[in-house]
Each structure stands twice: as structure tokens, then as C-alpha cells.
Amino acid sequence: MRRTALLVALTLLAPAVAAAAPVDSGVVLVECTNTVSDDERLNAAIDGSPVGAEITISGLCSINNTIRLLGDRSYRGTSRTGTVIRQADGTNLAALVATRSPTGS
């Protein structure tokens, strides 16, 4: 009898426990294509990411504009050789990546 009651209780609680599981704040995957539009792809992914997200970058990224990092996010590449961010040929950037100021500029 006790075993049956425990089984019934666990069966009823299982959906509630599953619903209460922590929600993933988001992993945003960005695949660079070695084209000068990679900076647009990276900045759009960062801008659209939720607070707490992990931005995962892969491939060779050729950029002609600075990548603007937002706070409260993690940034990582897939590996040391699998992710490379480089300035596009003929470009003279002051910075490859920069954080935004509190005023948003």
C-alpha cells in the first residue's frame, strides 16, 4: 500500500518537477563564413541575445567593423584553431572587439 501511494505521488509530482527545471538562458551559435559581413552576423547575434547567454563563435571571421560586446554574456570560440576573428583585407580598425559604454555607444 505504501509503495503504491509513493508511486502515485511521484507520478503526480513528475510533471511539476519537470516544469520547474531551470530554463536555459540561451546558447547563441554564430557560424562565420570568412566574408566581410561576418561582423554584421556577430553583432546581430550579440544584440539579439538574452542576458546570461553564451555566444559561441565558430569558423574564420573576417570583419571590417568592430564587434560590439554586451555585458552579462559569455563569449567563446569552438577551439583555438576552429575560431579566428581577423580584420578584413584593406581595413584599418581601431579595435577588433570592444565593449559598449553604459550609454550604449
In a domain, 8, yes or no: no
Residue 48 lies in a domain: yes
If you average pLDDT over residues 8-20, what whole number do you get? 41
Q: Quick check: is 105 in a domain?
A: no
- Within-domain flag for 5: no
Query: Tens of pLDDT along 52-100?
Result: 999 999 999 999 999 999 999 999 999 988 999 999 999 999 999 999 7
74: β partners: 54
At 23-40, the pLDDT tens digits run 456 999 999 999 999 999
From its phi and psi, is residue 43 left (phi > 0), alpha (psi between -120 and 50) or beta? alpha
Domains: count for the chain:
1
What pLDDT is stored for residue 5 in this prediction? 43
The helix or strand, by DSSP H or E, that contains position 56, with its residue range, turns out to be: strand 54-63
What's the grid cell of residue 91? 581595413
User: Is residue 93 included in any domain, yes or no?
Assistant: yes
Report yes or no on 86 lying in a domain. Answer: yes
- Which range of residues forms the domain containing residue 84? 26-99
Mean pLDDT calculated for residue range 33-51: 96
